[in-house]
Structure 1
Amino acid sequence: MTMGKGCMTASKYFLFFFNLIFFLFGAVIVGFGFWILLDNQTFIVALKNSTDVKLACYILIGVGAFPILISFFGCLGAIYEVRSLLSLYFSVILLILITQFAAGALIYFQKDVVNEQISKVITKVLDKYSGNSSITEQAWDFIQTNMECCGWIDRTDWSGNMVIVNSSQLLFPCSCQNISLISGNFSDSGFCEAKTPDWPVYDVGCAASVERWLLTNIGVVLGICLGVTLLELLGMILSICLCRNVHMEDYTKVPKY
């Protein structure tokens, strides 16, 4: 079954605009990867010293650059009706879709391993916390204060902190303190002195707070994932329809520079 000229034209431009969206999507991913690497303001800083996190950023940039390149070929194949480019485009989008499902399944079934690796990274950060208000320490204070949590798993993550271990006083991280258990002025950084060995801090760890945030916003996360998947499927359908209705390669349409 072949499409009429009007349908062909409409499909070409639909595919072109789809690839424009795909290009922007890739650009956002690349920008996010660079933002994590260059960010010195937010809680992301707390994880940046990890080699694994830096590697993940480079992978993220690479993954984002890939759609940018593919969308270029998709636009070229659609506008100039180059069948080989449309076939290549369809194959690559299919591969990306399969990879996304495989990566999602891997993360889901290996979530305990991922959580363990994050816990190790954060434990090293907490052990070296000195209260000198470095960028990394400010980021971690920001997390604990705003998420009302203490440590990654729980307060015992602070048990290896060198300042607390070597101090003759009963110190605890100020950003952990439960404001409902204290009165008067309080600090949200550095160390505070406890009156008893039972720290007046939050019982919940930040891992639980992050998980709770994800569950609260699960609809948004799933909506974004579903939207991206539908866009990819639309691109595949349009490209294969165009490919089947382009009967001859005409490379003379492609501009020469």
Structure 2
Amino acid sequence: MLLGFLGCLGALKEVKVMLGLYFGLLLLLLAAQITVAIIIYTQRSALATKVATYAEELIQGYPAQGPPGDPHESWDAVQQQLSCCGWKGPQDWDHHDDTTRDMDRDRAIACSCLRAPNSTHKTPWMLPHGRCPTAAPQDIFPSGCKERVQTWLAGNLVTIAGVCIGIALGELSLLMLSMFLVRNLDSHYEKLLRGL
């Protein structure tokens, strides 16, 4: 918003310094976006490993009792929105703790792994947060979130690339427009403005 305000005010008041600053900041933003895209593309396997590790740590650290923290609530939202369970599958929730004898508690999964009851109805189902006892296999989402994310990315790759290219072209056109305005402003305009 600040960048847009700077460009609009610079163009409206015809102030070369503001337009030059707008050009420079927009050029830095575009260069940063291109750099991030290149890093993500070249380091995609390392990024996938880090995401998998983070997801597995979230599952391992999911509280057995009490309300989950913000990262766990976000993971619940991911599982519900993508209709998935665990990172690789529901078996991710079957971690066993050797210090406890209560195997039922260890086999409890996040309630966000469960299908909504009466899923034919259009009303959304509000999930309880935390863990639920292991339900029947048909009540648990069978796919892991890794598979669902890969499927979603593959299905929306053209849209994602199109949006990124569209944003880059928009930024390039704004860069050209701001440079055009800087080059074609009357050099005596600021003197005339101060004289009024």
The reply on whether 1:140 has 2:81 as its aligned counterpart is no
- The gaps in structure 2 that reach 5 residues or longer are 117-126
Distance 2:152 2:47 in 1: 18
1:157 is matched with which residue: 87, 92, 95? 92
Change (3 A) 1:166 1:204: farther
Residue 229 (structure 1) aligns with:
168
2:103 is matched with which residue: 168, 171, 190? 168
Matches within 5 A, 1:1-257: 23=1, 68=2, 70-129=3-62, 130=64, 132-134=66-68, 136=70, 137-160=72-95, 162=97, 166-169=101-104, 171-173=107-109, 175-176=112-113, 190-193=131-134, 202-248=141-187, 250-251=189-190, 253=193
Q: Is the Cα–Cα contact under 8 Å of residues 127 and 161 in structure 1 kept in the other structure?
A: no
Change (3 A) 1:149 1:87: same
Q: Secondary structure at the match of 2:88?
A: coil
- The gaps in structure 1 that reach 5 residues or longer are 1-22, 24-67, 180-186
Q: Is the Cα–Cα contact under 8 Å of residues 97 and 229 in structure 1 kept in the other structure?
A: yes
Q: CA deviation at 1:76?
A: 2.7
How many residues end up aligned between the 2 structures?
A: 177
Q: Which moved more, 1:240-249 or 1:139-148?
A: 139-148
State the TM-score, normalized to the length of structure 2.
Answer: 0.69
CA deviations on 1:30-86 (whole Å, 9 max, x unpaired) are xxxxxxxxxxxxxxxxxxxxxxxxxxxxxxxxxxxxxx2x32332232122222332
Distance 2:51 2:100 in 1: 23
State the TM-score, normalized to the length of structure 1.
Answer: 0.55
Residue 46 (structure 1) aligns with:
none
Distance 2:101 2:52 in 1: 23
Identical-residue share of aligned pairs (%): 28
Q: Which amino acid aligns with 1:96?
A: L
Distance 2:9 2:55 in 1: 46
Q: CA deviation at 1:159?
A: 4.2
Distance 1:121 1:215 in 2: 22
Q: Which moved more, 1:130-139 or 1:99-108?
A: 130-139
The structure richer in helix per residue is 1
Q: Secondary structure at the match of 2:85?
A: coil
RMSD: 3.4
Distance 2:102 2:114 in 1: 18
Q: Is the Cα–Cα contact under 8 Å of residues 172 and 193 in structure 1 kept in the other structure?
A: yes
Distance 1:139 1:90 in 2: 37
